[in-house]
Amino acid sequence: MLIIPAIDIKDGKCVRLTRGDFSQKKIYLDNPCDMAVIWRKQNAKMLHVVDLDAALTGEMVNFDKISEIVSMLDIPIQVGGGIRSVEAVARYLDIGVSRVVIGSAAVTNPGLISELLKKYSPSQIVVGIDAENGVPKIKGWTESSGMKDFELALEMKKLGVERVIYTDITRDGMLQGVGYETTRAFAEKAGMKVTASGGASSSEDLHKLRQLERLGVDSVIIGKALYECNFPCQELWYAYENGLGIDGEFSTARKKGCCS
């Protein structure tokens, strides 16, 4: 199962939220590019980057910062947050982003998905379904979609979408365990490739998710649990942090709560 570290950007900084609540924001590093280097040095094979400002406004506020991350790394980067037009998708793919994640627009403008899949491969266009009690939320998780999570997935599947990033909002950023049952139920009904997200906080969670590989769950996005050093192997990595090349910044991050 592919483990994908998450980098959420708000006001140009690397942050984590709790259940998508912007009032519960914790800053881990002032420069998200440094965080990207850290995860790559720790052997990440892919990164998940979200422009939280864009998720609220629809404006590509942190585009330059994301472009810098893409140019610095040699691994695939998938990007989400407020991507609601063909032009926005083109801008990201043109700078080398591997996958673009469409969230709110999949609900409010499904025609956009059809248009994108005429131009791009299904491997480049991913739909993000962020669900609370089985109901997708949109616009930075501030509004309900009015349909079931699997219903949205099946609509997207008809349009040609092959992969969904499924987030259990009730678990996101809580460090209380992955939403195993909700993810299992969704994957069973959707019958698609699924990247799980939200709540994975231990090695046990990863072992549980591996039981869902037969249902198409082949990867997991992990955020706060990585930042808070919830995995034993991280202590070995940080014992050699002098080799990361950004010692001062990383030490500051630890003082702020990253692996302290």
Written as one string, the DSSP assignment of 130-168 is EEETTEEEETTTTEE-SS-HHHHHHHHHHHT--EEEEEE
Using alpha carbons, list the distances in angstroms from residue 236 to 246, 251, 259.
17, 16, 12
3-class secondary structure, 251 = helix
The verdict on whether 218 is a catalytic residue reads no
Instruction: Point out the catalytic residue in the list 34, 51, 53, 130.
Output: 130
Least Cα distance to 159 among 214, 127, 117 occurs for 117
Active-site annotation holds for 168: no
> Which residue in 178, 166, 174 sits closest to 137, CA to CA?
166
Q: What are phi and psi of 7, to 5 degrees?
A: -125, 110
Buried/exposed 90-118: b ≥16 CB within 10 Å, e otherwise: ebbbebebbbbbbbbbbbeebebbeebbe
Q: Fill in the DSSP letter of residue 215.
A: G
Tell me the residue type at 39: W
Burial class (CB in 10 A: 0-12, 13-18, 19+), 52: buried
SS3 call for 117: helix
Tell me which residues are annotated as active site: 8, 130
